[in-house]
Chain A
Amino acid sequence: MLKLLLMELYTQKKISFFIPVILLPLFLSLGDKISGTDMFPTLIFSLAVGFISYFMTSYSNSNTGETDKLQYKLLLSLPVSRTLLISAKYVMVCVWWLISYAWLMLVLLILKYVAHVPIAQPIFNWQVAFFSLCCCYFMNSIFYPLYYKYGFRVANVIGILVFFTLSNLAGKINSLPIPANFTALLFDYPLAAFATFTAVLILLTYTTTLYIFTKADY
Chain B
Amino acid sequence: MKDEEHILEVNNISKKLKGFELQQVSFSLKRGYIMGFIGPNGAGKSTTIRCMMGLAHIDSGQIKLFNTDSHTNMKALKQRIGFVYDQNVFFEDLTVEKNRQIISMFYDEWDDKIFYDYIHKFGVPLSTPVKSLSKGTAMKFALAVALSHNAELIIMDEPTSGLDPIFRKELLDVLQEVIQDANKAIFFSTHNISDLEHVADYITFIYDGKIQFCKETESILDHYVTVKGPKSLMELVEAHRPLAIKSSSLGFEAFMEKEQLALLNTSPDFKIERPALEDIMYYLVKSKNDKGA
Chain A residues in contact with chain B, CB under 8 A?
Answer: 3, 6-7, 10-11, 13, 67, 70-74, 76-81, 84, 215, 217-218
Contacts and interface: CB of A to CB of B under 8 A. Distances in A.
Contact of B56 (A3, A10, A74, A217): A217
Interface stretch (B32-40, B81-89, B237-245, B258-266): B81-89
B103 A78 contact: yes
A11 B94 CA distance: 7
Contacts of A3: 105-106
A10 B106 contact: no
Interface residues of B, number: 29
Interface string B77-108: 01101010101111111100010011101110
A81 B73 CA distance: 9
Interface string B42-57: 0000000010011111
Nearest to A74: B89
B75 interface: yes
29 contacts: A3-B105, A6-B105, A7-B102, A7-B105, A10-B91, A10-B98, A10-B101, A10-B102, A11-B93, A11-B94, A70-B89, A71-B89, A73-B85, A73-B87, A73-B89, A74-B89, A74-B90, A77-B55, A77-B78, A77-B85, A78-B107, A79-B75, A79-B78, A79-B107, A81-B74, A217-B55, A217-B56, A218-B55, A218-B56
Contacts of B98: 10
Given A70-B88, A80-B78, A81-B75, 10 more contacts: A11-B94, A70-B87, A71-B89, A74-B89, A74-B90, A77-B53, A78-B103, A79-B75, A79-B79, A217-B50
- Interface-centre pick from B89, B91, B107 (highest chain A CB count, 10 A): B89
Given A79-B78, A80-B75, A217-B57, A10 B89 contact: no
Contacts of B83: 77
Contact of B78 (A7, A10, A70, A78): A78
Contacts of B78: 77-80
B236 interface: no
A11 B91 CA distance: 7
A13 B93 contact: yes
B76 interface: yes
A13 to B, nearest CB: 7
A90 B35 CA distance: 41
Contacts of B81: 77
Contacts of A70: 87-89
Contacts of B57: 215, 217
A76 B57 CA distance: 12
A55 B28 CA distance: 48
Contacts of A79: 75-76, 78-79, 106-107
A184 to B, nearest CB: 50
**Pairs of residues from A and B, 8 with the lowest C-beta to C-beta distance, nearest first:** A217-B56, A74-B89, A79-B78, A3-B105, A218-B55, A78-B106, A79-B79, A70-B89
Contacts of B90: 74
A67 B92 CA distance: 9
Contacts of A6: 102, 105
Contacts of A71: 89, 91
A123 to B, nearest CB: 35
A76 B88 CA distance: 14
Contacts of B101: 10
A217 B57 CA distance: 6
Interface in B128-154: none
Contacts of B105: 3, 6-7
A76 B54 CA distance: 7
Nearest to B81: A77
A72 B91 CA distance: 11
A211 to B, nearest CB: 13
A116 B50 CA distance: 60
A93 to B, nearest CB: 20
Given A10-B94, A10-B98, A73 B55 contact: yes
A77 B75 CA distance: 9
A218 B107 CA distance: 21
Nearest to B155: A77
A167 B110 CA distance: 48
A13 B93 CA distance: 9
